[in-house]
């Protein structure tokens, strides 16, 4: 991997693991050009088209005109991230996991992405009985719908665990894209894992901020890994690819490290912080999970 875990890097530098560096891409192909698109500025100027900045819209149109392909990365499946009451701000949550439920348009239900629990969409707020319930955020389902409206005539496919529930479904979608039957492929982190498409010249990262602000001490590390890996899908042959990262904060240090392809810089920065707060690899952490279909039994265990 070009982006090993920080724990593995730490062990290699302590001579616990061996380390081999590969400074160039296969076949000496140029690294893709990385451009930033400021969502905040586009929204302020009322230039957003659906969830796409003017820079990404223009790049997609130009790529389609050249008969080349596009990968769009949104690391959130489903249609809407959560549903909120406009009156009391209540957000329906999973009764088992206490996390917000994601709305899936295909099933018409809200789903917990931790335990898989499904619930019907409430007609009124369970807390205050208001009927003013609105959907917030966007996932791959919503992007798939809106791509067809914004880019008329474009052949769009989606690759996530909802669309490809089996190995056969996964291969079918990838096969259609590889053979040129699809122009745009929208997907989650499945897209970042070692795929090689000759005609892909543009990769768009739709919402980098959701990964950067995830409540996990590994959020910066994983954001760099995912964005770097999915960026590598562009320009796999002789022609240099292009990557457009949509973000509210173009000056975020991780975004800058990504633009400079400076994984070592991010590693050095994060190691200082982890040492101060006692995170791995300087301390070991154990996660204990309890699961049972009867909540009262879990309450007693905890």
pLDDT tens for 47-65 read 999 899 999 999 999 999 9
Kindly write down the DSSP assignment for every residue of 65-90, as one continuous string.
HTT-EEEEE-S--SSBSEEEETTT--
Strands 242-247 and 200-205: parallel
Burial of 272 (0-12, 13-18, 19+ CB in 10 A): exposed
Task: Calculate mean pLDDT across residues 75-81.
Answer: 87
Task: Calculate mean pLDDT across residues 213-240.
Answer: 86
Tell me, what DSSP letter sits at residue 36? E
Please choose, from the candidates 148, 147, 260, the residue with its C-alpha nearest in 3D space to the C-alpha of residue 204: 147
Higher pLDDT, 122 or 193: 122
pTM of the model: 0.85
- Alpha-carbon distance of 104 to 240, in angstroms, equals 36
Report yes or no: 88 and 127 within 8 Å, Cβ to Cβ.
Answer: yes
Report yes or no: 135 and 83 within 8 Å, Cβ to Cβ.
Answer: yes
pLDDT tens for 235-279 read 766 678 899 999 999 999 999 999 998 999 999 999 999 999 999
Question: Would you report the helix, strand and coil content of the chain in percent, each value rounded to 5?
Answer: 35, 20, 50
pLDDT tens for 140-170 read 999 999 998 999 889 999 998 887 777 788 8
- pLDDT exceeds cutoff 60 at 302: no
Packing angle, helices 6-13 and 263-277, rounded to 10: 90
- pLDDT exceeds cutoff 70 at 301: no
Tell me, what DSSP letter sits at residue 280? T
Please choose, from the candidates 102, 78, 107, the residue with its C-alpha nearest in 3D space to the C-alpha of residue 92: 102
């Amino acid at each position: 991997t070009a982006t090993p875990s920080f724990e593995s890097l730490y062990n290699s530098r302590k001579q616990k693991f061996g380390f081999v560096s590969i400074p160039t891409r296969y076949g000496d192909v140029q690294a893709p050009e990385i451009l930033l698109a400021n969502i905040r500025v586009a929204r302020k100027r009322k230039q957003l088209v659906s969830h796409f900045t003017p820079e990404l819209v223009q790049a997609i149109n130009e790529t389609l005109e050249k008969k080349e392909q596009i990968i769009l990365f949104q690391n959130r499946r489903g249609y809407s991230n959560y549903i909120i009451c406009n009156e009391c701000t209540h957000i329906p949550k999973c009764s088992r996991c206490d996390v917000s439920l994601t709305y899936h348009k295909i099933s018409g239900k809200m789903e917990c992405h931790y335990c898989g629990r499904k619930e019907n969409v409430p007609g009124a707020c369970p807390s205050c009985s208001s009927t003013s319930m609105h959907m917030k955020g966007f996932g791959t389902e919503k992007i798939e719908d809106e791509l067809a409206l914004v880019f008329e005539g474009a052949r769009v496919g989606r690759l996530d665990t909802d669309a490809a529930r089996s190995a056969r479904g996964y291969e079918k979608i990838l096969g259609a894209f590889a053979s040129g039957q699809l122009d745009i492929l929208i997907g989650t982190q499945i897209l970042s894992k070692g795929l090689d498409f000759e005609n892909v010249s543009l990769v768009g990262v739709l919402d980098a901020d959701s990964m950067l602000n995830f409540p996990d001490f590994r959020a910066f590390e994983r954001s760099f890994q995912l964005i770097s890996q999915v960026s590598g899908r562009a320009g796999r042959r002789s022609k240099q690819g292009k990557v457009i990262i949509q973000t509210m904060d173009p000056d975020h240090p991780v975004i800058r490290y990504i633009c400079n392809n400076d994984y070592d810089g991010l590693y050095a920065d994060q190691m200082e912080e982890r040492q101060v707060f006692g995170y791995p690899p300087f301390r070991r952490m154990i996660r204990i999970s309890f699961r049972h279909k009867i909540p009262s039994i879990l309450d007693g265990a905890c």
